[in-house]
Each structure stands twice: as structure tokens, then as C-alpha cells.
Amino acid sequence: MDRVKNIEKLEETGKIWDLAVIGGGASGLGVALDALSRGLSVVLVEKADFAKGTSSRSTKLVHGGVRYLAQGDVMLVFEALKERGRLLKNAPHLTHNQPFIIPIYTFFDKLQYSVGLKIYDWMAGKLRLGKSKFISKEETLKRLPRVKQEGLKGGVVYHDGQFDDARLALSIAMTCNEMGGNMLNYTKVNALIKNNKGKITGIQVRDLIGKKNYQIKANMVVNATGVFTDKILQLDQPSAPKSIQPSQGIHLVVDQSFIGGKDALMIPKTTDGRVLFAVPWQDKLVLGTTDTIREKAKLEPEALAKEIDFVLETASAYLTKKPTKSDVLSVYAGLRPLAAPKEGSTKTKEISRSHKVIVSDSNLVSITGGKWTTFRKMGEDTVNQFSKVSGKSIGKSQSAEIKYHGYTEHPQEGHWKGYGSNAEKIQKMIQDDPKLGELLHSEYPYTLAEVIWAVKYEMAIKVEDILARRLRILFLDAKAAKSIAPKVAQLMAKMFGENEDWINEELSDFEKTANKYILK
């Protein structure tokens, strides 16, 4: 992806795009992908970096949603299981099959979860990732050596998918770019353009890097901004009522030794009625999540003390090696864009996660709700509105079969896996210039070559883009990320032809962000 070339495309006079998509997270990327699969022209603008918000802060699961099954949201689970299967097929370099174990302490739980997960298996049909089964106490302890033994009767094993959310978003953005989509980060929408009938005919944007404004004409404008949906709705209609209720979910990242095995732990009932996961991810363990109503949507939300305590206490009740605050390598918070509840209801876990497509009187199309697993289906349902809005006919969706950028059936092991077929190209850079094989940090496998790759081909503009979403180190070990930031900033400055002032400003910005990921 070449940002300079993509910005230049905005200068074509008289160009009318079929779709202008606002938002470069999971839902916006799903819309772009589906529209391109039908032969439509697409420009996508994101005010920060791709997946900067909610889409890089998930539990890293591609799942049907065992919890939604328990709540009776059967259609959502059917849809999600189908999409889960497709994602694992189309992005084997960014996804894998992850076994989960639910520890069983009562006979009723054994019956309840065994039956429930058999239904889950059956619903997945031929896209099933593995059979669920009951295992003995001995086998449970062999596979989860650090789970609480007292009263343990065994465990129920089931399978879901796991993925790298931010790198998947990047892979989809690159796929869209290759299909002719014009993908732009750091491009902010300032206004919606309307004709004399009050119908939307485009967007006015500002390139935050080049500091220049552009007008983009489009047959359909899509608002796919997640928790910021209301900001765009208010650009359309200043008196628009609140439609989104942000709900915060936090995750704590600790060493993988706290679980002692490769299986994930799922705790089905916590004091706030949610499930708690302990999931191995990139040689660490991700513990989460919470469900806390937040009034304001923020680009960089922060975990609350009570959420941190809740996750640590709940995990400690089930683990023999109990994690404490000093064990937390990184803490990250994300905001779910839930539909604002009706008056009087405050229970976010009861709000359906299924998505909605809304078309306003001015023809602004907004996609709200949903989850990462169903991003492609959300895109398809949104693009289905194109004929109604534009009056032009449209072909059938082809996005279910698209293999994502970097696709390879035999990805390399370790952190190279996330690059898929590009891993060999980066390794060739190191072969040609061994200095590029220098590690950024002695305890982590990331190299100088990957910084160069991210800038040249993955549209990384800021130090944070690299350390948070290209290499994921900020999410795995925030202090390590801080320590390697100067090296990354200097290399980027050299590539961009920037001076010391740029380096200092970048490091100051990154430090402010990174401090939010470190437990005080």
C-alpha cells in the first residue's frame, strides 16, 4: 500500500466513487472488501490508523459465541460459526484452531456444558473445528496444570478460532488495495456533502499528514465508525439521537506460565454474568474481559481500577499460580459499539451483538453493532443497500471466497506466521543486508527489517502504528515497547527524511499512549 499514490488519486477531477467508506476498523474493511468483490469502486478513509480503535483490542477470538447460545441468540451463533469457518479458510496465516477447556466442578455443569457444546458443534456443521468432549480430572490437570484442583470433576473441551486482530485488519486493507480500493489512514472526515435535495453526494476530508483538504464524490457514503457512529450521524443531522452505548472490555496480558499449557481456559460464570477467558496468544496469556458502561467514546480508552481487580480476582479463583498487578505486562481496553438500550435498561451483556444497517433520510448508510467474526457478513449486508441508495444495479457478493493478502497454506512458525507469504520477502531483506536482522529487543523476535517493511508496504506512519498494530509488542509487553521506541523512531525518520523534532514529537506521543498500557 502506497499512501502517497492513494492520496494523489483523490485529486482526480470529476471522479465519482461508488462507495466512500468512513472507518478503517473491522466493519469498514468488511464493507470495502464486499463492495470490491462486486466490482464497485471504493475509497476508504480512517482518521487514525487501520484498526486503531476497538478492532485491535479484542480477546483475539474468532468465535461463534458460546455465550450468545446460552442467551438464546441462535441466529447470531449460526451466522458467526459460518463466518468463523470462512475466516480460518481465507487467512490461515492469521488464524488457527484453539482448543478451550471449561473446568467442571459440579455434575450439573458437566451436563449443561456437554449438551450446550454438542449443539454448538452441530450448528457449525462441516465448518466445525473439532468435537467437544468431556475429559477426566487427570487429563484436565495434564492439559491445564495450573487450574484449581479442589472439587474438580473434569473438563469439557471445545474448539474455537484464534487470530491476530490488527494484522488481520491490515491484511484485509492490503487485499482491498490490491483489488483497486483506495485505502487511506490518517484521513479525517470534516463534513458530509449534500445536494439541493438534502441527499448525500460525498464527503469532505482532511489528510492529517499532508495537511490538505479534499472533496470525495460518491454514490453511497457508509458510516462504519463503530463507537464514533454518532459523530458522523450528527454531521448528517445535528439533532440525531444517541444510537451507540459504548461498553468497555479490558484485557490483562501476563506470562503464559500462569496457565501452564497450550489450551485456553474458559470460565463460564463470573460475578458480573460474563465469561472470563485465559487465552494463550503469541507466547503470552490474555485474561479478559469486562463489561463496563462508558459514557464517552474515546480513541484510547483506559482500564478502570475496578476492572483490573475484577479480572485478577476472577482469574485467581481458578488458577493455582495467582496473577497480581506486578505480573501484568500490558493492559488494554476496547469499547464495544453496542446499540443504545431502551430507557431503563442498563445491562450491556443482554444487548444483542447482531449488527444493524440503517439508512437515513439523506441516504447515509450506517452499520452498527456486530463483532469481528462477522465483519464480512456485515459488509455484505451494508453493500446490499447500494441499489436502493444509488439507483444502480449491483452484482452478487463474492467476498466469502477471497483469500486475504499474505495467504499461504504453509505459514512459517512463530511471529513470522502473521506475515504469511511475505515472511520470505522480509527474510530475503535480512539475507541481503544482515544488519537488518538486528533484534529490536533482546527478548523478542522483531527485527529492523520489519520496521522497514511496515513503512514501505503496510502504510505505517507513526511509531505507534508499528509497535501497537504491526508488531503487537505494545499489547504484549508495554515496557519493552517503550524501550525500543527510540530505535524505531530513528529508523522511520531516516526513511521519511524527518528531523530530530519529528523524532521527539513521535516519542512523546508514543510514551503518553504506552503509559496507559502499563499498570501503575
Task: Give the tens place of pLDDT for each residue, 293-341.
Answer: 999 999 999 999 999 999 999 999 999 999 999 999 999 999 998 877 6
Residues 271, 250: Cα–Cα separation, whole Å: 16
Q: What angle in degrees, to the nearest 10, is found between the helix axes of 478-496 and 500-515?
A: 160
State the span(s) of the chain assigned CATH 1.10.8.
414-515
DSSP per residue, 401-463 = GPPPTT--SSPPSGGGGGGGGGHHHHHHHHHH-GGGG-EEETTEEEEHHHHHHHHHHS---SH
Instruction: Grade residue 65 by pLDDT with cuts at 50, 70 and 90.
Output: confident
Average pLDDT, the chain: 94
Closest to 385 (Cα-Cα) out of 178, 224, 236, 235: 224
Predicted confidence (pLDDT) at residue 343 exceeds the cutoff of 60: no
Helix (H, G, I), strand (E, B) or coil at 328: coil
State the span(s) of the chain assigned CATH 3.50.50.60.
3-54+166-243+350-401
The whole-number pLDDT of residue 346 equals: 45
- Is the distance from CB of 385 to CB of 220 less than 8 angstroms? yes
Helix (H, G, I), strand (E, B) or coil at 331: strand
State the span(s) of the chain assigned CATH 3.30.9.10.
90-162+245-345
In CATH terms, the fold of domain 90-162+245-345 is: D-Amino Acid Oxidase; Chain A, domain 2 (3.30.9)
Q: Could you tell me the maximum CA-CA distance found in the chain, to the nearest angstrom? A: 73
Q: Which three cell numbers stand for residue 477?
A: 509487553
Alpha-helical segments (H) within 458-520: 463-464, 473-476, 478-496, 500-515
CATH architecture for segment(s) 3-54+166-243+350-401: 3-Layer(bba) Sandwich (3.50)
Q: What's the pLDDT tens digit per position in 198-212?
A: 999 999 999 999 999
Closest to 137 (Cα-Cα) out of 170, 103, 178: 103
Instruction: Grade residue 342 by pLDDT with cuts at 50, 70 and 90.
Output: low
In CATH terms, the fold of domain 414-515 is: Helicase, Ruva Protein; domain 3 (1.10.8)
Q: Which three cell numbers stand for residue 183?
A: 485505502
The whole-number pLDDT of residue 345 equals: 44
State mean pLDDT over 353-374: 90
Within 13 A of 46's CA, how many CA atoms are on the CB side? 28
